Amino acid sequence: MQPRESSPSIAALKWLADTHPGRYRTRNEDAFLLMCFDTKELCYLGKQGHMASEGKHFLFAVSDGIGGGKGGGYASQSALRSLSFLISQTFHRAASPHEIPYEALLRSFVEHMHQRLLGLSRSYEECHRMGATLTLGWMHHDQLRFAHLGDSRLFHLRGPEQCHQLSEDHTLAAQKVRQGILTPQQAKRDAASHVLTRSLGAGARPDEPQVGSLTLSPGDRLLFCTDGLTDTLSDYRIAKNLYDPPPYLEGLDPMQGLIREALDGSGRDNLTAILVDCLPGESL
């Protein structure tokens, strides 16, 4: 009997991240976070990089603020700052990766961030009813665990024809689609397309996040993004730009290309995205 071949493993991650206020807004209410950590240390990652993944944990997150004035921007930044604090305070308690209660921790993080924003909202008039969306992924070895609230999105890509949305849109329009009242095409034009049914803060009731997991393979890509990108670009155009960009985007990296396309298509909202590539061993 021939020995069974082991499946290739992910040896490294490469990432690109960027944010833009859009064509017409003076403030950027989006925020993003990239972190790498283990039982000994935690470090923040820059907008682009490449790192061997053996033994390391990675966290990627985007957040879109809700609230007028300065409240929305402060909400998204405050949520992600509290997330980094929670990671640093709780991760070291697990003796090994096999003992980490990922789902319970993700739900706990979301609850703490939610209560943090509610507390600020009650304490400061300018923060009244502020809130934020949250889409985060925690990666270790070949496993992705994610938590999500709102209408930012997480995509899993395995080629130009395989772009799968892992996150569920928490809007009234998306809820109508799931109920069979609207088609996806009608939902894009519906007046409730941006009315959130779940978020951090922005109310008194804690919202239940969508929590999920996925086994990844070398060559897989993950895209975390706010709705400023997906309001303009369809899933097909996102995948097309990442795998087969048009000639006029030549010379731009994949993230610059996506932002450029979204700005040219509309640019009415803030735009934020993180692209993560899962690399095989020969990439090192």
pLDDT digits (tens, 9 = 90+) for 210-255: 999 999 999 999 999 999 999 999 999 999 999 999 999 988 999 9
- 240 vs 4, more confident: 240
pLDDT confidence of residue 163 = 95
Query: What percent helix, strand, coil does the chain show, rounded to 5?
Result: 35, 30, 35
Average the pLDDT over each of 33-37, 56-60, 67-71, 221-225 and give the range with the smallest value: 67-71
Query: How sure is the predictor about 202, in pLDDT bands with cuts at 50, 70 and 90?
Result: confident
Lowest mean pLDDT among 3-7, 13-17, 195-199: 3-7
Q: Is the pLDDT of residue 3 over 50?
A: no
Q: What angle do CA 143, 148, 149 make, to 5 degrees?
A: 175
For residue 7, what pLDDT is reported? Answer: 63
Residue among 31, 13, 23, 17 nearest 263 (CA): 23
> By C-alpha distance, which of 223, 226, 237, 224 is closest to 265?
237
Q: Can you give the pLDDT at residue 39?
A: 79
- Three-state DSSP at 161 gives coil
Q: Quick one: CA dihedral 115, 118, 122, 127, positive or negative?
A: positive
Is the per-residue pLDDT at 183 higher than 60?
Answer: yes
Banded model confidence at residue 4, pLDDT cuts 50, 70, 90: very low
pLDDT band of 266, cuts 50, 70, 90: confident
Residue 5 lies in a domain: no
The most distant pair of C-alpha atoms in the chain lies apart, rounded to whole Å, by: 72
Residue 87 or 276, more confident: 276
Residue 239 lies in a domain: yes
pTM of the predicted protein model: 0.93
Q: Is 245 within the bounds of a domain?
A: yes
Distance of alpha carbon 227 from alpha carbon 26, whole angstroms = 17
As a whole number, the mean pLDDT across the chain is 89
Instruction: Please say if the pLDDT value at position 92 is more than 70.
Output: no
Q: Identify whether the C-beta of residue 131 lies closer than 8 Å to the C-beta of residue 200.
A: yes
CATH number at residue 261: 3.60.40.10
Q: How many domains does the chain have?
A: 1
Residue with tokens 């772009």: 163
Residue 29 in domain? yes
The answer to the question of residue 6 being in a domain is no
For 91, the domain range is 12-283
Q: Is residue 190 part of a domain?
A: yes
| Mean pLDDT confidence for 94-99 | 60
Say if 208 falls within a structural domain: yes
- 147 phi/psi in degrees, rounded to 5: -135, 145
Give the type of residue at 192: A
Listed in sequence order, the residues at least 6 apart from 218 whose beta carbon sits closer than 8 Å to its beta carbon are: 8, 9, 10, 11, 278, 279, 280, 281
Residue 9 CB neighbours (<10 A): 15
